[in-house]
């Protein structure tokens, strides 16, 4: 039950982010740091679709318990890899100020860590349930 609440929070946040990026791409991009380069409509809409899809899969993992792990995996891959990429960007010094680093960690990296945690906990939960049914 608690994992479903965790999945719902993440799923709703990613779905909302995706809808925002897809439907208001210029506004969404304007919230990013200048170090992201020039606006690219196709790129921002693609990101919106990826976030929306990830969120929908996490939400679906709540509704279909027997498929919770594969659905969580599907919903997590983009989010986790996106966070890893941003860690690499920070390591290369892409964010010019401490505020930019803080925003990256808070807005992108932390949600990816939470999503990885959700996936790990789902796998653990399924493994424990399998052991009990054994």
| DSSP states along 64-127 | -GGGHHHHHHHHHHHHHHHHHHHHHHHHTT-S-SHHHHHHHIIIIIHHHHHHHHHHHHHHHHHH
- The average confidence (pLDDT) of the chain is 96
Token couple for 103: 């925003």
Answer for the pair 52, 75: CB distance below 8 angstroms, yes or no. no
Domain hosting 114: range is: 2-133
The number of distinct structural domains making up the chain is 1
pLDDT in tens, 97-128: 999 999 999 999 999 999 999 999 999 999 99
Entry pTM:
0.93
**CA-based nearest residue to 21, from 31, 8, 9:** 31
């Amino acid at each position: 039950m608690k994992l479903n609440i965790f999945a719902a929070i993440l799923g709703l946040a990613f779905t909302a982010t995706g809808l925002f990026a897809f439907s208001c791409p210029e506004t969404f991009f304007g919230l990013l740091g200048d170090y992201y380069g020039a606006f690219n409509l196709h790129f921002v809409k693609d990101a919106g679709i990826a976030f929306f899809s990830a969120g929908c899969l996490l939400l679906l993992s709540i509704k279909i318990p027997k498929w919770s792990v594969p659905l969580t995996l599907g919903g997590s891959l983009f989010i986790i890899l996106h966070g890893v990429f941003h860690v690499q960007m920070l390591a290369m010094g892409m964010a010019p100020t401490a505020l930019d680093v803080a925003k990256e960690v808070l807005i992108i990296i932390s949600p990816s860590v939470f999503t990885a945690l959700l996936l790990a906990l789902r796998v653990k939960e399924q493994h424990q349930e399998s052991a009990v049914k054994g």
